[in-house]
Structure 1
C-alpha cells in the first residue's frame, strides 16, 4: 500500500473511531458529568447533524484549497475537537468539542477517498478508495472496543486524549508522506470551472446523484435499524445469552472488513451490477434474520453476511455517486455521500426505536429493515438506468466537442 494511502487510512480510522466510540462510554460520561443518558445521547446526534449539514458546505468552501494544506489543516481541526472534549469542564464544552471534530469529518473522508481514487490505475479506483474506507471498518472492529476499554479503565477523558494522540501521529505521517495533488484536468469547455481536487465544479445537483444518495439513505437505514437494536434481537428473538452479543457484533465487523474488499473488486469489475448485488444481499440477509431467528447457527452466519454485504455497498456506492455527479467535483459528491450515510443511520435508528416503542414484537425490526433495504435496491435499479441514459445522451455531445 502506498504510504500516502496508508496515512489517509489511519486518519480515517481515527475519524471513524471518534464518531462511534462515544456510544461505549456514554454511561461513564453521564455519571461523571452529572447529566442523563438521554442528554449525553446528544453527543451522537449533534455530531451526525453537523456532518450532514456542515460537511457538504465545508467541502464546497474548501474546493480550491490544495490538498497539502487542506488535509493537515482539517486533521488539526479534528484533533482540536478531541482536545476540547478531553479538557471539557462541563457538558456544554463536551458538546462543543464534538461539534468541532464533526466539522472536519465529512471533508476529510471525502477528499481522502477522492485522492486515493485519483492515485489509482483506472481499473482499480474503487479498490484504492476502499483502502481508505477500510479505516472505518477497522474502527468498528478495533478502534471502538479499544476506545471503550480505555474509557472504562482510565475514565472517559482518556478516550479523547488517546484519540487526539493517535490522530496527531496519523497527521504527522500524512505530512511526512504528502498526498499528491491531482493531475491537471483536461481542457474544459469555455466557462467551466475546476477545483483544486482536479474535477469540474458545478452548482446544479444532478438527478442521478440525488437518486444514489436516496439509495444510500434507504440501504444504510435498513442495516442500522437492526444494528442499533441488535442486542434485543439477539437475546429476545434469537435466544442468545447477553454475553455473546459482543462476540456477534465483532463477527459483523470482521465480515465488514472482508466485504469492503469484495465490494471494491465488484465495483471495479462490474460497475453496473455492484450496487444492486450488494444491496440485494443486504435485503436478503435481513429477511432471513426474520425467518430463521430460531436457528442459532443461521443467525451467526447471517450476521457475518450482513456485515460483509453492508460494507461491500460502501465502495460500490462511492463509485456510483462519483459517476453520477456530472460536473460536480468528486470530493463534493463523496461529501454528499457521507451525509446520506449519516441520514440513513439516523433513519434506521429511529425506525427500529419506533417499532419497539409501540410495543411491536422485536422481529418487526429486521422485517422493517428488510423493507427499507428492498426499497433501496429498487431505487438503485432506477438510478443505474438514469445514469446510463445520461451517459448515452452525453456521448453525441462529446463526439461533437472532439
Structure 2
C-alpha cells in the first residue's frame, strides 16, 4: 500500500532533518557555546552512537508492538527534541535531548519498511522500501539546506531546530490521522532473529557498511566548516552547496535502485569505489568544488540504500532485525567517521579530512572482498536453501 510507504517517507524526512540538520549549523553552534568544531561534532556522533548501541535492542524488545503506535511515539519524541533544542539549552542538555529520540530511530525505520512491504505484492516490495528510504534524499534536498539557509539569514542556529520541529509535527499529525492501526500478527522469536549474528557473511557485511558510512561522514559531518574555511564560502553559499549536494543524490538514488535488483554487490562496490575516489578530488581540487559536490552528492545519498540492501541480503530470514542492525552499524560508522575526522581536524587541520575519507573507504573495499568470499563459501555449503545475491536484493524487505 503506497500510502503507508509515503507516510513512512514523510516520517523519515523528519528524522533525517533532526539527525543531519545539525551539519549545516555546526560552526554557529560551536561559536555560541564557545567550543571547538570537533566538540560540536559530538551532537552528530552521540546521536549516531546511541542508534548504534541501543537501536537493535529497542527493535527486538518492541517487535510485537502495534506499528502505528511505535511510529507515532518515535516521531513524537523527535518533536519534543526539536522544541527543547530550539530554546538554546546548556550544551550538556542539548546533547541529552539529542540522544533520546536516537533510541527509537531504527524502530521507526524498521517498522515503516515492514508496514509498507507487508501490504505489497512480492514484486512491489523493493519499490515500497525505496519510497520509504527516499525520505533520506528528500530531506537532504529540502529541509536540511532550507534549515541551514534560514539559520544563516537570521544568524541564529536555533532557527534550524524550529524547522526540524515543524517537519516532525507534520509527520506526527499525519501518522495519527492517516495511518491505520497495524498490530503485529506473528512475532518472530528473539532467538531466530539473534541467530543472524552468528553468520560470518552477515558480520562482514556489517563491518563493510560501518567503514563505508564512516568514510562518507569524515568530511560530510563538517561540510559547512570545510566549505567555509577551505573554500571560503559564506553561510548562504554553503546552504546552496548543500542543496546541490542533495539534488544530485536524487538521480543517484534512482540509478542505485535500478541497479540493485540487477547486481547488488556490483552496485555497492561501484558507489563505494566512487565515494573513495572523490576524496582525492576534494583534497586536491578545491577550485572545482561545485562539480565535485554534485558528483559527491550523486554517490553519497544512494549509499544508505545500498548499505541497507547489502546487510539485509546476508540475513533474508530475519529482515526486520537485520534492517535495524543495518541502521545501527551505519550510525556506528557515522560516529567513527565524525570522531576520526575530529581528531584529524585537531591534529592536522580541517583541510586533511579527505585523507580519512580515503583510508576508511579503502578499508571498506577490503572488507567487502572478504564478505563476498565468505558469502560464496556459505552458498557452496547450503546451495538449496541460500538465495542468490540478486534474489536477496529483490526480497530483502519481506
The CA RMSD measured in Å over matched residues stands at 3.5
- State which of 280, 292, 295 in structure 2 corresponds to 1:302: 292
Q: Which residue of 2 aligns with 1:387?
A: 375
Pairing partner for 2:216 from 214, 218, 223: 223
Q: Which residue of 1 aligns with 2:338?
A: 349
C-alpha distance in 2 between matches for 1:24 and 1:287: 23
Aligned partners of 1:266, 1:398: CA distance in 2, in Å? Answer: 21
Aligned to 2:99: 99
Cα gap change, 1:114/1:387 in structure 2, threshold over 3 Å: closer, same or farther?
farther
- 1:314 aligned to which of 304, 316, 326: 304
1:190 aligned residue: none
Tell me the equivalent position of 2:130: 130
Q: Is the 8 A contact 2:66 2:184 kept in 1?
A: no
- 1:13 deviates by 0.5
Are the equivalent residues in 1 in contact too, given 2:208–2:364 (CA < 8 A)? yes
The offset of 1:234, in angstroms, is 5.5
> Does the 8 A contact of 2:5 with 2:129 survive in 1?
no
Match of 2:71 in 1: 71
Structure possessing the higher relative contact order (Cα contacts under 8 Å, 6 or more residues apart): 2
Partner of 2:273: 280
Q: How many residues align?
A: 382
Q: Structure 2: how far apart are the matches of 1:58 and 1:231? A: 33
How far apart are 1:321 and its partner, in Å? 1.2
Q: Is the 8 A contact 1:263 1:314 kept in 2?
A: no
* Stretch moving more, 380-389 or 100-109: 380-389
SS at match of 1:21: helix
Q: Please state how far the C-alpha of 1:12 moved relative to its aligned partner.
A: 0.5
Partner SS state of residue 217, structure 2: helix
TM-score by length of 1: 0.80
Deviation at 1:341, TM superposition (A): 1.9
Q: 1:251 aligns with which of 241, 244, 259?
A: 244
**Runs of 5+ unmatched residues, structure 2:** 388-398
Which residue number in structure 2 is paired with residue 59 of structure 1?
A: 59
Q: CA deviation at 1:127?
A: 3.7
Residue pair 1:80, 1:100 contacting (<8 A) in 2 also? no
Mark the CA change 1:59 to 1:184 in structure 2 (over 3 Å): closer, same or farther.
Answer: closer
Distance 1:230 1:165 in 2: 24
- Aligned residue runs from structure 1 range 6-85, under 5 A: 6-26=6-26, 36=35, 41-85=41-85
Normalization by structure 2: what TM-score? 0.81
- Alpha carbons of structure 1 residues 389 and 123: separation in structure 2 relative to 1, 3 Å: farther
Change (3 A) 1:247 1:49: same
Q: 1-side partners of 2:213 and 2:71: how far apart?
A: 27
Q: Distance in 2 between matches of 1:361 and 1:43?
A: 18
SS of 1:137's partner is helix
Q: Report the CA distance shift for 1:115/1:308 in structure 2 as closer, same or farther (over 3 A).
A: farther
1:260 aligns with 2:238: no
- Higher-Rg structure is 1
Deviation of the 1:377 alpha carbon:
1.9
Note the C-alpha offset of 1:59. 0.8
Counterpart of 2:194 in structure 1 is 202
Q: CA deviation at 1:14?
A: 0.5
